[in-house]
Structure 1
Amino acid sequence: METKRTIIAIPMGDAAGIGPEITVKSLSKEEIYKKCKPLVIGDASIIKKAIEVTNVNLSVNIIASPSKGKYELGTVDVIDLKNINLEKWSAGEVQAQCGQASFEYIKYAVNLAMGREVAAIATTPINKESLKAAKVPYIGHTEMLEDFGGAPDPLTMFQVRGLRIFFLTRHVSVKEAISQMTKERVRDYLSRCDKALQRLGIENRKLAVAGLNPHSGEGGLFGMEEVDEIGPGIEAARQDGIDAHGPVPADSVFFQALNGKYDAVLSLYHDQGHIAAKMTDFHRTISITNGLPFLRTSVDHGTAFDIAWQNIASSVSMEECIKLAADYAPKFTSDSL
């Protein structure tokens, strides 16, 4: 009996970047179609050009709605927004029309997800400078998604192989990040992480918190953050019924989680978790945005203008991004966090 395949929407990203290339390369792989029904939201003329550049054996099927797709290997089903002027388009450059178009692809995909016409969204790279050139009032995916989905402060989770990583702080200096490592914030984030894992269908969730200082501070010998704030935050979460552990020294906790000791790790600052994930497998590190009313996965790399449209870009991240969306979609619940 064939496994039921869900529809995964793929906004094609910035047309001048590698998004269209990695999209068509991914959709030339049989394993993608075994897992899901991929649907591209983009510009059909750019998709056709990407097929020519990458020399993959695909034809384009332009459709008006998700229900009209063929979803079979050898065909790329595309909802064509017709928003790129090829005469004014150029590869690998910041262009307002590409920024505006990428914004429109995302908004369209979100509307499909909110209307339950697709099971999840797997996003390709967009470019901040192109968005700015188009006067789009958002700097990136996360800001758009939290606005469109009505979900303030979404929670980012990285997954690579069996390793899942959440982030207590994001794009702030290390000094500012340390000031945000309060008991209250640790407790709150552990609760949010636990609920996020539950939405993804993970039972009996076991969470670890990475330490900040060498050896998690050795009881205060190398810093008091673990003693004063991080440890008490973990204990408060445990009293809330969350199976939380730590702080576990950062030089070992990610390895332990990768090997199954924990279901996820709460990283205390941006680079701590990013380094662990990307050293595990740079190309297979996928981002999941939790807290939205729909499932969204994303590649964790940029538009790569320097290699765009040269048939150089690897599609491994995009393939993993689509497959992860397909894996989680049947388990995902849309209950609000």
Structure 2
Amino acid sequence: MPTSETPSERPTIALALGDAAGIGGELAVKILSDEEVLENARLILIGDRRQLETAAAMLGTGLDLPDCDPETDSPASLLNLANIDPAAVSPGEASRHTGAAALENFATALRLCAAGGADAVAFTPFNKYAMRLARPDYVDEIGFINAVTGATKDGREFNVLDEFWNARVTSHIPLSQVAERITEERVFASIELTDQTMRNAGFARPRIAVAALNPHAGDGGNFGHEDDREIAPAVQRAKEKQISVEGPLPSDTVYLRAYKGEFDAVLSMYHDQGQIAMKLIGFDRGVTLIGGYPFWIATPAHGTAYDIAGQGIANPNATKRALLLAAKLARQGDLVPADAASRASAIAKATAEVSTAAP
């Protein structure tokens, strides 16, 4: 990035504070002193100033963060929703009010980006149990994004580790339901979406490996028929569309092959098939990226780390990588710096409908 850029010429990232009982406030405060992040992106933090002040005091540092002002071109600012009192938060304990605040923060960030006030969204870790306490129908980020933005087509979560990507056919469902969801159409659509999303992210022709569902890729039907009957035909259809794809490949070796450079991405069949591999390879570097929407959404791949909340020892590296990746991807689009009036209008739209009961 040219050092001559002003903050408004950099990609603007709406950074929603996650669960207040976890490490999100600490991560945000640490990021605010990271020169590399602030040289590559302009940050608008969204949440409660008191949450950040509590984290800064715990870390023994100050909090030099102005309120978000459309007239001021600051490298970082805060859209203060004043929605969570730290005195009512027990570190490491999920609660309805921490979940409600996280939902408000996320919805506001999504609305701000949809209104043109930011180029990408990021968030520090959420706790889904807490969010369900506040919103019982909450399933995952995809469903919530659809509800807030009115999207008619689901996006998809990707795990990114350096230049290595992982995608999923199924995600947040019980393991007992996975096999019935592995259909030729679903696998084919997932291959297509992975290919298109990675092309949008700058890959000329991504090389995709499709993981098998069953041990030894089904072993010719001895260990199940999904690999032969559903996954293999989907891979063949994708090849006929000139997508660079191979599979189904045994999942106990495909991640080693990909990480050594044979593939750019692996398409896993279920959540933990890919998550375990990615977190073993680089827990402190992994980023979860949500694509398929008009703007990118990124977060560290780890969780709220309740076990170390309030101790000041959280590692901000994955959060930093999430923000840098979001800024990099946003730069590949058409960045048009908004004027003060446009920024003010976007902020007004983002905050006019703040509600945890419904998007």
TM-score when normalising by structure 2:
0.83
Could you tell me the percent identity over the aligned residues? 33
Distance 1:186 1:140, change over 3 A: closer
Residue number in structure 2 paired with 1:32: 37
Distance 1:131 1:171, change over 3 A: closer
Contact 1:48 1:60 in 2 (8 A): no
Q: Map Cα deviations across residues 206-252 of structure 1 (whole Å, 9 max, x no partner).
A: 21111233432344455433222211110012223322212222233
Matched, 1:6 2:7: no
- Partners of 2:224 and 2:83 in 1: CA distance: 55
- Partners of 2:288 and 2:62 in 1: CA distance: 29
Residue number in structure 2 paired with 1:199: 200
- Partners of 2:314 and 2:240 in 1: CA distance: 48
Map 1:29-108; keep pairs closer than 5 Å. 29-56=34-61, 58-65=63-70, 68-71=72-75, 76-108=76-108
SS at match of 2:101: helix
Residue number in structure 2 paired with 1:127: 127
Q: Map Cα deviations across residues 276-319 of structure 1 (whole Å, 9 max, x no partner).
A: 11111112121111222221011223323332122122222211
- Partners of 2:261 and 2:210 in 1: CA distance: 15
For the aligned residue pairs, the C-alpha RMSD in angstroms reads: 2.4
Q: Name which of structure 1's ranges 53-62 and 157-166 shifts more when overlaid on structure 2.
A: 53-62
- Partners of 1:170 and 1:295 in 2: CA distance: 19
Q: Map Cα deviations across residues 87-134 of structure 1 (whole Å, 9 max, x no partner).
A: 544433334332222221111111111022211111112233433443
Distance 1:263 1:129, change over 3 A: closer
- Partners of 1:129 and 1:173 in 2: CA distance: 15
Contact 1:103 1:136 in 2 (8 A): no
C-alpha deviation, 1:57, in angstroms: 5.0
- Partners of 2:320 and 2:309 in 1: CA distance: 18
- Partners of 2:328 and 2:138 in 1: CA distance: 29
Contact 1:210 1:246 in 2 (8 A): yes
- Partners of 1:226 and 1:125 in 2: CA distance: 34
Map 1:1-337; keep pairs closer than 5 Å. 1-2=2-3, 5-56=10-61, 58-65=63-70, 68-71=72-75, 76-135=76-135, 137-151=137-151, 152-220=153-221, 222-332=223-333
Amino acid at match of 2:72: K
Distance 1:286 1:132, change over 3 A: same
Contact 2:21 2:306 in 1 (8 A): yes
Amino acid at match of 2:10: R
SS at match of 1:84: coil
C-alpha deviation, 1:325, in angstroms: 0.9
Contact 2:142 2:156 in 1 (8 A): no
Contact 2:48 2:83 in 1 (8 A): yes
C-alpha deviation, 1:135, in angstroms: 4.3
Contact 1:162 1:259 in 2 (8 A): no
Q: Structure 2: state its 5+ residue gaps.
A: 336-359
The 4+ residue runs of structure 1 with deviation greater than 6 A are none
Q: Map Cα deviations across residues 235-270 of structure 1 (whole Å, 9 max, x no partner).
A: 012223322212222233222222332221111122
C-alpha deviation, 1:163, in angstroms: 1.5
Contact 1:162 1:258 in 2 (8 A): no
TM-score when normalising by structure 1:
0.89
Q: Map Cα deviations across residues 179-223 of structure 1 (whole Å, 9 max, x no partner).
A: 222222211211111121122222122211112334323444554
- Partners of 1:173 and 1:101 in 2: CA distance: 27
Q: Name which of structure 1's ranges 41-50 and 304-313 shifts more when overlaid on structure 2.
A: 304-313
Q: Name which of structure 1's ranges 25-34 and 92-101 shifts more when overlaid on structure 2.
A: 92-101
- Partners of 1:84 and 1:206 in 2: CA distance: 45
Amino acid at match of 2:47: G
Contact 1:154 1:289 in 2 (8 A): yes
Distance 1:97 1:186, change over 3 A: closer
Residue-pair matches, total: 329
